[in-house]
């Protein structure tokens, strides 16, 4: 497994070893010793899967303290453009975002620490995303930022036209309102 830093401190791009042959491929998706050797100490307590049609936007979501979550995100089938926003007000990258293509071909994964909002747009139909969390979901701690926030200027349309957004996500507040700025 290759662990790459990103331009947002503590956000990591993971590239697992892929073994291809005439049968298909094999990935050792999680290997505790490799994670420990790489300095990854996150302990996951919950795993979620979502299935999305092309153009579905999910997010930008995060959990408030003391229920904040680190997430390990990867695509089991299909493709997404995954976006992460730094919400850590003490960091020079506060309010900055970064996007990543995650799909069932490159098998790239994101390890998203606490203090980030996360969302994605499905690039093909029936995209299945898995995300493990290091803290249990807590409805009272649920928060988010509207995916089309004008201050963030995230170019979702460069990847797919946002066609389906849940009612809940469509009502999420803007960045400044969500963070009480």
Distance from C-alpha of 91 to C-alpha of 109, rounded to nearest angstrom: 23
Q: Active site includes 137?
A: no
**Cβ contacts of 89-92, under 8 Å, gap ≥ 24:** 89/179, 91/9
Q: Active site includes 61?
A: yes
Please tell me which residue in 107, 108, 131, 159 is annotated as part of the active site: 131
Residue in 47, 68, 49, 70 with CA at minimum distance from that of residue 58:
49
Please tell me which residue in 61, 74, 107, 108 is annotated as part of the active site: 61
The DSSP annotation for 80-129 comes to EEEEEEE--TTSTTTT-EEEEEEETTT--EEEE-TTEEEEEEESSTTEEE
Cα distances (Å, whole numbers) of residue 98 to 22, 29, 64, 117, 137: 35, 23, 21, 11, 24
β-strands 18-21, 24-27 pairing: antiparallel
Distance from C-alpha of 146 to C-alpha of 73, rounded to nearest angstrom: 20
**Which residues have a catalytic role annotated?**
61, 131
């Amino acid at each position: 497994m290759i662990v790459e830093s990103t331009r947002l401190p503590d956000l990591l791009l993971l590239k697992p070893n892929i073994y291809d042959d005439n049968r298909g491929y094999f990935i050792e998706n999680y290997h505790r010793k490799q994670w420990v050797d790489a300095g990854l100490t996150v302990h996951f307590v919950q795993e979620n899967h979502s299935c999305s049609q092309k153009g579905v936007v999910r997010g930008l979501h995060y959990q408030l303290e003391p229920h904040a979550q680190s997430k390990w995100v990867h695509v089991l089938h299909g493709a997404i453009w995954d976006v992460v926003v730094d919400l850590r007000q003490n960091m020079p990258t506060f309010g900055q975002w970064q996007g990543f293509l995650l799909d069932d071909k490159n098998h790239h994964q994101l390890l998203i620490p606490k203090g980030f909002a996360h969302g994605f747009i499905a690039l093909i139909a029936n995209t299945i995303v898995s995300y493990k969390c290091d803290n249990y979901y807590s409805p009272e701690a649920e928060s988010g930022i509207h995916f089309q926030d004008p201050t963030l200027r995230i170019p979702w349309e460069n990847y797919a036209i946002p066609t389906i957004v849940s009612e809940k996500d469509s009502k999420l507040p803007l960045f400044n309102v969500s963070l009480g700025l």
